[in-house]
């Protein structure tokens, strides 16, 4: 089974766009800020090359292609979840106390969503075709849930995400929301082409959002304000107070 | 039907995501500079004794005997206006206090989850009670217990934050005292 010319052209365009985003990410030195996202982009580009090679060798309809495709989808889901964690960390980690508070909250949230997904998937027949839609939907919802929880933390503490981080997060969230919806609709619509088209279009839109994120140069890195230790304060405060008093005495003498 | 519900739900989730990422943040008051954070401490709740007095029945009974119906009506209208302004003042006080609490949390290297949860709970309680009191006021009722509870909430939070601020600022002169 081979793909239509339109599908092949779309595949090629998507791969080119992925490569362009990766080049942009390297140009903007995004690896210093969001390394996992850059790894995700790199894996995406490498996957396109490998998938095309596999398509040429075994064809689109073969079992090997199916297993490889879904394995890589699993890897991408994991990487996207890690990117969400990285985004939350990049926004909140400059505020040490808040990040320490957010970490266990996000972990707990992830566990709750995972348990909900496993409970809802109970009773699903143990075959690939039945397991993939609810599994993928559940995992995408975990990603969206974690992203929203992390961003709610930021909003509560009035922490603003940099523009490029916001666009990257929106791309990830948008793709996950559409994927979850798509997988929810699949059993009702039972239309594989529509399901695949929605999935591809949502990813294309997400990529456009990432291009927007990386189009302009990134703002300079703002290093977090590190507070001195208690000992340092105890040592410095008397010195500063003494110097201020000395200055005050001198000024008073000048006025006399 | 189910498809429509799922679609609406997902659009709502997407809207929440967009709002969280790009929604306008409340602009900080320009008149409060970092060294003037005590300006955020409550001011309106101190007028509660006067407010409590106008909520009492004595004035109304007195006016009912001496003033015309028109004057009494006008007085009630103005009382309701005063109460509304007082409520807005309380809301402003509470808003300032929560901003101050968040500012302190942002600076703190270690946060106590119970304390943060307490603040979140208090914020929710305040907002619900505030709306209910405003509704009662609109229905021409005199919400004395609610007003006193709102005032108490603002005063308690203000007191706790003031204590915390004093504890933080007390360290500097203490450290200076050791050397001189």
Q: Distance (Å, rounded) from C-alpha B97 to C-alpha B91?
A: 10
- Cβ within 8 Å, pair B175-A152: no
The answer to whether the beta carbons of residues A178 and A198 sit under 8 Å apart is yes
Nearest to B180 among A173, A185, A245 (CB): A245
pLDDT at B173 over 60: no
Specify the higher pLDDT residue, A169 or B37.
A169
Nearest to A151 among B20, B99, B111 (CB): B20
Considering the domain boundaries, does residue B27 fall inside one? Answer: no
Which pLDDT score, from 0 to 100, does residue B176 have?
44
Among A116-130, A171-185, A187-201, B48-62, top mean pLDDT goes to A171-185
The three-class DSSP label of residue A49 is helix
A255: closest CA of chain B, how far (Å): 23
CA angle A162, A168, A174 (to 5 degrees): 130
Provide φ and ψ at A93, rounded to 5°.
-65, -25
Considering the domain boundaries, does residue B1 fall inside one? Answer: no
The answer to whether the beta carbons of residues B94 and B44 sit under 8 Å apart is no
Which pLDDT score, from 0 to 100, does residue B170 have?
64
Considering the domain boundaries, does residue B108 fall inside one? Answer: yes
Which pLDDT score, from 0 to 100, does residue A166 have?
95
Contacts A160 to B, Cβ<8 Å: 25
The average pLDDT across A37-56 equals 92
Which pLDDT score, from 0 to 100, does residue A1 have?
63
Residue A151: which of A182, A181, A172, A180 has the closest Cα?
A: A172
Total number of domains constituting chain B: 1
- Start-end of H helices in B23-143: 48-55, 58-66, 69-107, 113-138
The average pLDDT across B131-146 equals 85
Q: Helix crossing, A35-58 with A5-27: angle to 10°?
A: 150
Which pLDDT score, from 0 to 100, does residue A195 have?
82
Considering the domain boundaries, does residue B148 fall inside one? Answer: yes
Both tokens of residue A192? 């594989």
pLDDT one-digit tens code per residue, B27-84? 555 455 655 666 777 778 788 888 888 777 787 788 888 888 888 888 888 888 888 8
Q: Which domain holds residue B85?
A: 45-169
- Cβ within 8 Å, pair B106-A95: yes
- The helix, strand and coil proportions of chain A, stated in percent and rounded to the nearest 5, come to 80, 0, 20
pLDDT one-digit tens code per residue, A73-109? 889 989 999 999 999 999 988 888 888 888 998 999 8
Residue A100: which of B117, B113, B121 has the closest Cα?
A: B113
pLDDT at A3 over 90: no
The average pLDDT across A226-232 equals 72
Which pLDDT score, from 0 to 100, does residue B48 have?
82
Lowest mean pLDDT among A66-70, B100-104, B154-158, B175-179: B175-179
Q: Distance (Å, rounded) from C-alpha A142 to C-alpha A81?
A: 8
Which pLDDT score, from 0 to 100, does residue A148 have?
94
Q: What is the DSSP secondary structure assignment for residue A126, as one 8-state letter?
A: S
- Confidence grade of residue A169 (pLDDT, cut at 50, 70, 90): very high
- Confidence grade of residue B172 (pLDDT, cut at 50, 70, 90): low
Considering the domain boundaries, does residue B59 fall inside one? Answer: yes
Mean of per-residue pLDDT scores for chain B: 81
Nearest to A234 among B23, B173, B175 (CB): B175
- Confidence grade of residue B179 (pLDDT, cut at 50, 70, 90): very low
Nearest to B14 among A97, A152, A177 (CB): A177
Distances in Å between the alpha carbon of B144 and those of B6, B55, B127?
Answer: 45, 7, 17
Q: What percent of chain A has pLDDT over 70?
A: 96
Interacting residues of B65 by C-beta distance below 8 A, sequence separation 6+: none
The answer to whether the beta carbons of residues A238 and B179 sit under 8 Å apart is yes
- Confidence grade of residue B177 (pLDDT, cut at 50, 70, 90): very low
The average pLDDT across B4-30 equals 83
Distances in Å between the alpha carbon of A54 and those of A42, A44, A58, A76, A240?
Answer: 18, 15, 6, 18, 70
- Cβ within 8 Å, pair B17-A144: yes
Specify the higher pLDDT residue, A115 or B1.
A115
DSSP for A184-232?
HHHHHH--HHHHHHHHHHHHHHHHHHHHHHHHSPPPPP-PPPPPPPHHH
CA angle A105, A101, A77 (to 5 degrees): 45
- Cα B67 versus chain centre, distance: 36
The average pLDDT across B3-10 equals 86
| Domain residue extents for chain A | 5-217
pLDDT at B180 over 70: no
Q: Distance (Å, rounded) from C-alpha A212 to C-alpha A69?
A: 28
Report the residue of chain A nearest B176, measured CA to CA: A238
Q: What is the DSSP secondary structure assignment for residue B41, as one 8-state letter?
A: S
Both tokens of residue A204? 């294309």
Mean of per-residue pLDDT scores for chain A: 87
Considering the domain boundaries, does residue B149 fall inside one? Answer: yes
Q: Does B145 touch chain A (CB under 8 A)?
A: no
The distance in angstroms from the start CA to the end CA of chain B is 78
Lowest mean pLDDT among A112-121, B54-63, B84-93: B54-63
Which pLDDT score, from 0 to 100, does residue B111 have?
81
pLDDT at B114 over 70: yes
Distances in Å between the alpha carbon of A179 and those of A127, A136, A203, A218, B3?
Answer: 20, 8, 9, 29, 14
Q: Distance (Å, rounded) from C-alpha A180 to C-alpha A139?
A: 8
Lowest mean pLDDT among A61-65, A128-132, A199-203, B81-85: A128-132
pLDDT at A21 over 90: yes
Both tokens of residue B85? 């302004």
The answer to whether the beta carbons of residues A168 and A190 sit under 8 Å apart is no
- Cβ within 8 Å, pair A181-B172: no
Considering the domain boundaries, does residue B72 fall inside one? Answer: yes
Specify the higher pLDDT residue, B54 or A138.
A138
The average pLDDT across A204-229 equals 84
């Amino acid at each position: 089974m081979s793909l239509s010319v339109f599908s092949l052209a779309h595949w090629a365009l998507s791969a080119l766009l992925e490569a362009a985003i990766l080049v942009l990410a390297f140009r903007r030195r995004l690896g210093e800020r969001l390394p996992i996202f850059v790894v995700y982009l790199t894996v995406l580009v490498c996957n396109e090359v490998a998938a095309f090679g596999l398509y040429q060798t075994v064809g689109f309809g073969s079992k090997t292609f199916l297993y490889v495709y879904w394995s890589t989808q699993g890897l991408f889901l994991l990487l996207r979840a890690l990117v969400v964690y990285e985004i939350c960390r990049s926004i909140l980690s400059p505020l040490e106390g808040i990040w320490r508070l957010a970490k266990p909250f996000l972990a707990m949230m992830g566990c709750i969503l995972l348990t909900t997904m496993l409970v809802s998937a109970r009773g699903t027949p143990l075959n690939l075709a039945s397991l993939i839609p609810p599994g993928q939907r559940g995992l995408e919802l975990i990603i969206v849930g974690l992203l929203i929880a992390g961003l709610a933390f930021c909003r509560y503490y009035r922490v603003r995400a940099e523009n490029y981080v916001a666009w990257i997060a929106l791309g990830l969230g948008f793709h996950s929301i559409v994927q979850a919806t798509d997988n929810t609709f699949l059993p009702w619509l039972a239309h594989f082409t529509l399901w695949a088209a929605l999935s591809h279009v949502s990813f294309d839109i997400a990529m456009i959002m990432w291009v927007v994120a990386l189009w302009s140069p990134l703002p300079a890195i703002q290093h977090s304000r590190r507070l001195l230790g208690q000992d340092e304060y105890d040592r410095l405060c008397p010195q500063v107070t003494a110097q201020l008093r000395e200055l005050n005495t001198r000024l008073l003498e000048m006025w006399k | 039907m189910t498809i429509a519900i799922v679609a609406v739900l997902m659009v709502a989730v997407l809207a929440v995501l967009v709002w969280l990422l790009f929604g306008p943040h409340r602009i900080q008051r320009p008149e409060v500079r970092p060294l003037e954070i005590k300006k955020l401490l409550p001011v309106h709740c101190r007028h509660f004794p006067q407010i409590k007095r106008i909520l009492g029945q004595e004035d109304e009974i007195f006016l009912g005997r001496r003033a015309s119906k028109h004057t009494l009506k006008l007085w009630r209208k103005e009382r309701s206006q005063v109460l509304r302004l007082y409520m807005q003042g309380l809301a402003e006080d509470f808003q300032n206090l929560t901003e101050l609490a968040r500012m302190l949390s942002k600076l703190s290297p270690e946060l106590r989850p119970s304390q943060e949860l307490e603040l979140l709970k208090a914020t929710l309680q305040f907002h619900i009670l505030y709306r209910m009191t405003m509704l009662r006021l609109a229905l021409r009722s005199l919400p004395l217990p609610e007003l006193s509870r709102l005032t108490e909430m603002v005063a308690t939070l203000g007191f706790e934050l003031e204590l915390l601020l004093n504890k933080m600022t007390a360290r500097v002169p203490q450290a200076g005292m050791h050397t001189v």
